Structure 1
């Protein structure tokens, strides 16, 4: 199967996106809710469109169902035959195969421009929602009750932006959007528990990978969050959220914990200086190692060695 070309189309506005999908111009310049069944009906009978890769400088929250064929997010392919809730942040890329069958497509897509949040605390807080950076294979599987809850919030957003705009309109829309994101955060944490086998298997694999890095040769770099996530086949954001949900610690905190435990053993079992220990652990700068050690233990490596002996 041929992958998307490198000719990338950039979507900057909701109006651009609406034209791409065959919808009329949005009623509000910064937020719109698309019914994907209506998208399917509007595109019925049209010849297949050649879709180049698209980078949308918009936020997107969507449930897509009934798609048959290939959708690329980045360079990976995904299955949307069943409904899952997905999130995209501005600057992410997607594309579709020319043979994508939308004859049974349904669901919805809420899109909003970053400018909607410009003067609100949510504009800063939204970066904390890791699920905007998950892969679609890590998407949220909703129960019927959860989907109904989100649908109520979505309809509230739609009703508000279809009203004549006044000085309260944007405040109401942004507050409802924050409620939607809070529910999504709750439902993701529920999924880490109720779909426990996959997260717990991932936790076991993570612990094994981290141990393998920690018993590596002297001077081997401390693994980064990105390296471990790549080895496990998940995104860094998903890995950290999963670990925080199951253990209370992020990926970085697990790495630091493992590094400090290895450092303690090295400080007590060898005559290396603190600097030599830092280099053996893969630190480029011994000062960074000493600072991290003090942060995690409350004392310096030298004090730890002296007290332990």
Structure 2
């Protein structure tokens, strides 16, 4: 899966001109049509995008939200979220792209995710708005677009204010148009599926005949997050919110279960068990086991005899 660290890399990959600024960009979809890749397979990037589709066919998929509205639609992309699209080249509307550096440039965005939770990776739900609400939103995008392409030295000071205005306007529409009970149920369902897939991956990765990636670190939540195509922080947040335990706790608990079974039911020595459980050295395994059980592997085996 492709991963774009900069806005410039992203623009090049989707077939449009480079941005004028490395940390902020605004486009109208009309200018992109005829240039942009119409069918984009799953990818990730490291910035926020806030868009409004005034008209056009096809759909964009963000995270697990595959039900893309057909009408006037506001939708979001968050850092490290999986994205894809398959569109008809007739879209109208606008989008802005914000890097972490742009957000850090102003105190307006110090509480971004607290003030505007619809930007969170697990809550960025695309939603449809009434046609009568379109002019207000489009007007803000147009002001940003005009300022961005101006020669004013202080244009980004104005853009920061306009972006804040846009976020507040979208927040009002989000609260008006999104059924929060349905949205929360969708998020809960997706989180439970993610937890189940994570737990299954832990088990299957430790199978003796498991086909593993080169240099796979089966003790690291980041390894499983990579297989699940999500950010490690998101994986940990979801797992902990449902189970009360961290992703690392789940991995360690599984390793302990396997270790105890090996010690009690096989004749393998500690060295063999350590390497079968993907520890770099027997001493690391012994230290891990003692830390989590308050006894050594040898003492545990002897006690169970």
Q: Which residue of 2 aligns with 1:26?
A: none
Shift of 1:266: 0.9
Q: Secondary structure at the match of 2:25?
A: helix
Deviations 1:189-248 (A, max 9, x none): x9996323333233334333433334435998764545545655x424443332122112
The answer to whether the aligner puts 1:86 opposite 2:86 as a matched pair is no
Select 1:267's aligned residue among 263, 267, 278. Answer: 263
CA contact (8 A) 1:243 1:250 kept: yes
Q: Tell me how far apart the structure 2 counterparts of residues 278 and 297 of structure 1 sit (CA, whole Å).
A: 16
Q: TM-score when scaled to structure 1?
A: 0.52
Deviations 1:119-171 (A, max 9, x none): 99x99x99xxxx9995xxx6523799xxxxxxxxxx9xx9xxx9xx9xxx9xx
Q: Which residue of 2 aligns with 1:235?
A: 230
Structure 1 residue runs without a partner (length 5+): 22-38, 145-154, 180-189
Q: Which residue of 1 aligns with 2:185?
A: 194
Structure 2 residue runs without a partner (length 5+): 1-11, 129-139, 148-153, 169-180
Q: Which residue of 1 aligns with 2:290?
A: 294
Q: Secondary structure at the match of 2:280?
A: coil
Change (3 A) 1:295 1:253: same
Q: Which residue of 2 aligns with 1:141?
A: 125
The answer to whether the aligner puts 1:50 opposite 2:40 as a matched pair is no
What is the count of residue pairs matched by the alignment?
246
Q: Secondary structure at the match of 2:58?
A: coil
Q: Which residue of 1 aligns with 2:250?
A: 254
Q: Which residue of 2 aligns with 1:187?
A: none
CA contact (8 A) 1:87 1:132 kept: yes
Change (3 A) 1:193 1:300: farther
Shift of 1:85: 5.3
Q: Which residue of 1 aligns with 2:50?
A: 62
CA contact (8 A) 1:59 1:113 kept: yes
Q: Which residue of 2 aligns with 1:304?
A: 300
Q: Tell me how far apart the structure 2 counterparts of residues 192 and 274 of structure 1 sit (CA, whole Å).
A: 49
Q: Tell me how far apart the structure 2 counterparts of residues 279 and 219 of structure 1 sit (CA, whole Å).
A: 16
Q: Which residue of 2 aligns with 1:32?
A: none
CA contact (8 A) 1:10 1:56 kept: no
List aligned pairs for 1:29-40, cutoff 5 A. 39=28
Q: Tell me how far apart the structure 2 counterparts of residues 244 and 214 of structure 1 sit (CA, whole Å).
A: 22
CA contact (8 A) 1:294 1:301 kept: yes
Change (3 A) 1:282 1:84: farther
Q: Secondary structure at the match of 1:17?
A: strand
Deviations 1:28-80 (A, max 9, x none): xxxxxxxxxxx46xx4xx68341379x9997325254565336599xxxx775
Change (3 A) 1:285 1:114: same
List aligned pairs for 1:171-190, cutoff 5 A. none
Change (3 A) 1:211 1:205: same
Q: Which residue of 2 aligns with 1:117?
A: 104
